[in-house]
């Protein structure tokens, strides 16, 4: 476990807001899962940050969700399905390239 993650997980008194990575750690998810949860409406960042901006989350809400088995089940399934879909699309693209000869022909093959 990296030292920063260990530190945020062991704080006695948490700050009022957490960034996406800290929120992920508190929830037991990976940092790249947070955008999935935000886009699905399962997490709401503070304020109205534009796309690509650093997002912060209310610590009290993160802690509440962490203890909510129903929410955790829903979030976990949502992430599982999103990753499954991403992997299936990547496999399909790899297979498509393989079937079509792997892309660009070498000059010596064109003569």
26-71 pLDDT, tens per residue? 999 999 999 999 999 999 999 999 988 999 999 999 999 999 999 9
Q: Which pLDDT does position 111 carry in this prediction?
A: 46
Percent of the chain past pLDDT 90, that is, above it, reads 64
70 part of a folded domain? yes
DSSP 71-105: HHHHHHHHHHHHHHHHHHHHHHHHHHHHHTTSSPP
40 part of a folded domain? yes
Q: Which pLDDT does position 98 carry in this prediction?
A: 64
Look at the block and give the residue holding tokens 């990296």: 2
Q: Tokens standing for 51?
A: 């796309």
Structurally, how many domains does the chain consist of?
A: 1
48 part of a folded domain? yes
Other C-beta atoms closer than 10 Å to the C-beta of 47 total 10
CB burial readout 50-75, b (16+ within 10 A) else e: eeeeebbbbbeebeebeeeeebeeeb
111 part of a folded domain? no
Sort 24 into a burial class: Cβ within 10 Å, 0-12 / 13-18 / 19+: buried
Q: Are 14 and 59 in contact (CB under 8 A)?
A: yes
110 part of a folded domain? no
Q: What's the mean pLDDT when you consider all of the chain?
A: 87
Model confidence, pTM: 0.74
33 part of a folded domain? yes
Average confidence (pLDDT) over 11-40 = 94
104 part of a folded domain? no
19 part of a folded domain? yes
- 100 falls in which pLDDT band (50, 70, 90)? low
DSSP state of 49: P
Q: What is the CATH number of the domain that holds 80?
A: 1.10.1660
Whole-Å CA distances, 86 to 58, 80, 81: 29, 10, 9
Q: Which pLDDT does position 29 carry in this prediction?
A: 97
The domain in which residue 12 lies consists of 3-99
């Amino acid at each position: 476990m990296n030292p920063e993650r260990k530190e945020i997980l062991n704080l006695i008194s948490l700050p009022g807001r957490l960034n996406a990575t800290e929120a992920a750690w508190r929830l037991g998810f990976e940092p790249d899962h947070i955008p999935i949860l935000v886009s699905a409406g399962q997490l709401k960042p503070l304020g109205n940050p534009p796309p690509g901006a650093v997002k912060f989350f209310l610590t009290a809400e993160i802690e509440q969700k962490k203890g909510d088995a129903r929410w955790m089940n829903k979030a976990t399934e949502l992430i599982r399905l999103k990753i499954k879909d991403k992997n299936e699309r990547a496999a399909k693209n790899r297979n498509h390239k393989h079937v079509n000869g792997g892309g660009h022909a070498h000059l010596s093959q064109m003569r």
